[in-house]
A and B are shown apart, each in its own frame.
Chain A
Amino acid sequence: MLRTAHVKIATAAAGLALLASACGTTSGGGTTPSAGGGRAKPPSLKALGSVGAGEGTVNILAWAGYAEDGTTDKTVDWVTPFEKETGCQAKVQVANTSDEMFEKMGSGTFDVVSASGDSSLRMIYAGKVAPVNTALLTNYADVPAFEKDQNWNSVDSVAYGMPHGWGAQLMAYRTDKVKPAPDSWSVVWDPGSPYKGAITNYDSPVDGIAAAAVYLMSTKPDLAIKNPYALDQKQFDAAIALLQQQKPAVGTYWASYTDAQKALESGTTVVGSTWQIIVNLAKADKAPVESVLPKEGATGWADTWMVDAKSPHPNCAYLWMNWETKPDVQAQIAEWFGEAPANTKACALTTDKTHCDTYHAQDEAYFSKLWFWSTPQSDCLDGRTDVKCLPYSQWSKAWSSLRS
């Protein structure tokens, strides 16, 4: 590692230079740390000009359930038809965390990634992913406007990816144990919560701290939090204090959705942060579980297909993004994984006709109540310039300390 930093910087610079000379598509190099007090800009990379013939291979880094090739379940396969139609052999690696995705992108090992908002901005600023040419994304027009140009998929109105799907970080509760039915996050944050020891929290630095901040937005208005991902030191400390105070009451911090489902079914967890799919699976097993979007609002995740800045197979990468966001494929994924499809044309094609309603796929009012995962930066995401916000590295350190 003596050379890591060296190599990383050198390769980043070399990569940019290479792109500049080879493709004639870049106009500068490196992250510009804001001369004259302006905001930092990501390295300027150009998007692909046109989609040519496929290169024969595409390397995909995805969440489990996003790129199924029939090896998990014979009937769940949209990768094989993609390979047949485009001639691009899809090599899929499943990532377990956003941090893992961040670490693995940027070297050309992968062509595309299904990035969540808590890593996308980091990837953009690190020059790991290139902007996308939305004119080449055949399904881009079918994505509702409210999902576009957001700070988990774009910077300065430049799109860095194709929206894939989204979901809310809801509150799940056992209807037999949590009475009356809760409508507020106070049941998980209040120190006097009767559900002490049976509360669950999602194990992620970005979501975990932001969830506390969302609660503080309505309970501690004097902290003046405008965006739960843009916290200055004082606001951040308040969120961490809330989490520390909650810690003894937390039964589990869940990372895999199976664990969350099992805990709800067995009743070791009775209330806490969840995904709709977890609740659906638990209900399918006849567990008395419901979900609610509490009145304070909630965090949420929106996943975006992004192209590696050094993608060796950019044509196949675009072919993949176009395939993955076709209405019929989107319908399959949305039902298999349990999320709102980005392409709302999929809503007519789902097996369960109420799928899009269950997941509020076309509901802008619902969408706007959610605070979608974004990568915290020292330039506050809410636009404040008089203070510095805590960057992701501080968030992850604080979360690590909290969990240790």
Chain B
Amino acid sequence: MTALPPAGTSVAPGVPAGRRLSAWLSGRPRVRLAALLAPPAIWLTLVYLAALLALLTTAFFSVDEFTNAVTRTLTLSNVRDVVSDPAYLRASARTVGVAAAVTALCTVIAIPMAFFMAKVAPARSRGLLVALVLTPLWASYLVKVYAWQAMVQPGSGVIAWVLRPLGVDGPGYGLMAVVLTLTYLWLPYMVLPVYAGLERLPDSLVDASADLGAGPWRTFRNVVLPLAYPSIVAGSVFTFSLSLGDYITVQIVGGKAQLLANIVFANYAANLPFAAAIAIIPVLITVAYLAVVRRTGALDNL
């Protein structure tokens, strides 16, 4: 702070342009706001939002049977095909099921870890523990999926090898492998916000609960969990929506299972309108989820 310029707020002619601009701006908050907001808002609207809406609008167009080109003939047939075919209803249920299972598993694994990091571990080792949990985020996504392919591979995989003495085979490829892999991929996204939430929680609250005679389980359920809840919801935004949109993991370890994103991917080149019609489902689910989450105020906890 030693380099602060001398006092004096009046702006005389002859002062540097930057200072004059600054003075001019200081009386005009709306101009400042516009200057701050315009670049990112224009970027997001032009590059993203418009494109997104346009993609979803395509669901109501048709394709030319000879050329596969998208034609602007309006039709409800794509949406009708998606809604009326029970295969897609099943795929939607399967996808939401996987996303929910991943979120639940991540939560169950993350809470004790986060609690240990925030409340049990000595303060000086906290940074290291956080770092240990974070490190895999930097190892490539594909590498991690690839690692899990090696883990679950039927017959010659690592899990199969570990279980062989027990006379059990590994999980093999399929929905189970997808849930395991996605849980692995998104776990740090759950541990971190929950840790941050628990760290803010004063020890005295937990101690008070114990003093009042509550057992550990009761303290956890009635004191810790409600206070950590917004952080869990914040973490679930990642675990749930990232699971909802994944198709590469499913391709690599999913066996013949297909989730919504795979169906979108499989159709987009041949029949973009149909792919768009299917894409509406996960978009609606995500937006609905975000809307619910926003109500809990957890978005500010991200």
Please report A residues at the B interface, Cβ cutoff 8 Å.
1-6, 8-9, 12, 31, 33, 40, 97, 99-100, 102-103, 122, 125-127, 205, 250-253, 255, 262, 266-268, 377-378, 391-393, 396-397, 400-404
Contacts and interface: CB of A to CB of B under 8 A. Distances in A.
B81 interface: yes
Contact of B66 (A31, A400, A403): A31
Interface in B46-73: 51, 54-55, 57-58, 61, 63-72
Interface residues of B, number: 42
B85 interface: yes
Given A103-B268, A377-B65, 16 more contacts: A1-B276, A6-B72, A9-B69, A12-B69, A31-B64, A126-B67, A252-B255, A252-B256, A255-B251, A266-B153, A266-B154, A268-B172, A391-B65, A393-B63, A402-B87, A404-B88
B88 A401 contact: yes
A122 B68 contact: yes
Contact of B256 (A100, A251, A397): A251
A255 B268 CA distance: 17
Contacts of B130: none
B269 to A, nearest CB: 3
Nearest to A402: B87
B91 interface: yes
Contacts of A252: 173, 255-256
Contacts of A1: 51, 54-55, 57-58, 61, 70, 272, 276
A404 B153 contact: no
B112 interface: no
Contacts of A97: 269
A378 B271 CA distance: 16
Nearest to A1: B54
B209 interface: no
A352 B123 CA distance: 66
B148 interface: no
A371 B54 CA distance: 40
B69 A5 contact: yes
A3 B70 CA distance: 10
B240 to A, nearest CB: 21
Contacts of B272: 1, 4
Given A266-B154, A393-B270, A378 B65 contact: yes
Interface in B146-179: 153-156, 172-173
A97 B58 CA distance: 22
Interface of B: 51, 54-55, 57-58, 61, 63-72, 81, 85, 87-88, 90-91, 153-156, 172-173, 251, 255-256, 258, 263, 266-272, 274, 276
A100 B275 CA distance: 14
B58 A404 contact: no
Contacts of B88: 401, 404
A126 B69 contact: yes
A66 B85 CA distance: 39
Nearest to A125: B66
17 contacts: A1-B272, A4-B70, A4-B272, A5-B69, A5-B71, A8-B69, A97-B269, A99-B270, A103-B270, A205-B270, A255-B251, A391-B66, A393-B63, A397-B274, A401-B85, A403-B256, A403-B263
Nearest to A95: B269
Given A126-B67, A252-B255, A255-B251, A100 B85 contact: no
A168 B272 CA distance: 30
A400 B267 contact: yes
Nearest to B275: A400
Contacts of A102: 68, 269-270
Given A266-B156, A400-B263, A392 B68 contact: yes
A378 B63 CA distance: 13
A9 B58 CA distance: 15
A337 B268 CA distance: 28
B270 A396 contact: yes
Contacts of B267: 396-397, 400
A102 B270 CA distance: 8
